[in-house]
Amino acid sequence: MAYNNSWGTKRNSNYASNKQRQQPAPITADNITIQEVQKIEKNYEKYLQLISTIEDTQAKDAFLKLATELKSRLSVAPSATRVDFVGAYAGGLIQTSLFTLRNMLKMNEALELNIPKDDLIIAALSFGIGKIGSKDKEYYVAQTSAWHIERGMRYEINKDIEGIMSPNVRSLWWLSQYGVKLSENVMYAIQSLSTLTDQAPSSLDLFQAPPLAILLQSSFRLVCSAASNTPKKSVLEWRRKNNKTSIFLYKNVFLEHTYIVQQLL
């Protein structure tokens, strides 16, 4: 009996046509509206103003130098790859940092934690700097596949970037390059964000972390949950859905904490 290869031919034909149409113009500065450019500039100016309020002169001057010299990258950098994540647009990195600081300041006051304001500002405004990339390569590059763009994936992680460090550890590297003085608590808080997704947490991360680290993690979670509209129904429903591994359990601990804090603010 002769083999009918029409299905395979049709499938290969469809695959070829899909490959041909997956060549849209990349997302560039030309796609940004005037309103978006104005918003990016406004957020960047706010970012500089907040850094200028740091009381430690050495940390303030070094941080301002970093923010000024890296303006062309820092001001337009996104904070994620997909539209259902927080900050997946030009300028998303700084806006996410500003939202995180706003939450940290409110929670620090409401919970009477008395964390130094310098630590709050430096931690919130610097934890994501590593997402601009290395010295000569961007961390996020524009997505060029129509299939991915249609599904909300605006960017992808640059496969050519050197090193294997997480964005948060790379943030510490950038701060060290400009000599920004960090307290021990700020350094711990920034690197602690990596454990939220990269590995199972230790008991120290869960129960004994310094207040600044907990505040940064929770405030960032609030920003993320607002962007993705989570938790959508209830924390218990999310627990039933996702409680499969220690990683999911850890995330649910923070979802619960985030949900409760949302109700208080």
Spatial CA neighbour of 187 closest among 202, 203, 176: 176
Q: Which of 88-97, 100-109, 138-147, 156-165 comes out lowest in average pLDDT?
A: 156-165
Alpha carbon distance 52, 55 (integer Å): 8
Give the per-residue pLDDT at 166.
87
Give the per-residue pLDDT at 196.
60
Alpha carbon distance 136, 237 (integer Å): 44
The vertex-63 CA angle with 80 and 117, nearest 5°, equals 90
Tokens of 32: 């940004």
Give the per-residue pLDDT at 209.
81
Report the percentage of the chain scoring pLDDT > 90.
Answer: 47
Whether residue 193 contacts residue 168, with contact meaning beta carbons closer than 8 Å, is answered with: yes
Whether residue 237 contacts residue 256, with contact meaning beta carbons closer than 8 Å, is answered with: no
Alpha carbon distance 178, 67 (integer Å): 10
Give the per-residue pLDDT at 30.
45
The pLDDT tens digits of the residues spanning 118-164 come to: 999 999 999 999 999 999 899 999 888 888 888 888 899 898 887 76
Half-sphere exposure for 132 (CA within 13 Å, toward CB): 23
Alpha carbon distance 89, 154 (integer Å): 8
For 75-190, strand residue ranges (E) read: 140-142, 155-157
- If pLDDT is split at 50, 70 and 90, which confidence band does 48 have? very high
Mean pLDDT of all residues in the chain? 77
Tokens of 108: 């620090």
Give the per-residue pLDDT at 206.
57
Residue for token pair 């999911």: 248
The pLDDT tens digits of the residues spanning 157-200 come to: 898 887 767 899 999 999 999 999 999 999 999 998 876 654 55
Give the per-residue pLDDT at 256.
44
Residue ranges of the domains in the chain? 33-194
Measured from the Cβ of residue 101, the count of other Cβ atoms closer than 10 Å reads 22
Alpha carbon distance 265, 114 (integer Å): 17
Please, what is the end-to-end C-alpha distance for the chain in angstroms? 72
Res 64 pLDDT > 70:
yes
The vertex-70 CA angle with 66 and 75, nearest 5°, equals 115
Q: Which of the two residues, 62 and 37, has the higher pLDDT score? A: 62
Q: Which residues touch 129 (CB under 8 Å, ≥6 apart)? A: 66, 70, 74, 93, 170, 171, 174, 175
Give the per-residue pLDDT at 225.
80
Give the per-residue pLDDT at 31.
60
Q: What is the DSSP letter of 153?
A: B
Phi, psi of 141 (to 5 degrees): -125, 155
Alpha carbon distance 87, 214 (integer Å): 21
Whether residue 111 contacts residue 264, with contact meaning beta carbons closer than 8 Å, is answered with: no
Q: Which of 30-39, 50-59, 223-232 comes out lowest in average pLDDT?
A: 223-232
The pLDDT tens digits of the residues spanning 229-263 come to: 544 444 445 444 544 333 333 334 444 444 444 54
Phi, psi of 133 (to 5 degrees): 110, -160
Provide long-range contacts, Cβ within 8 A and 24+ apart, for 257-260: 257/218, 257/221, 258/218, 258/221, 258/222, 258/225, 258/231, 259/225, 259/231, 259/235
Alpha carbon distance 63, 179 (integer Å): 8
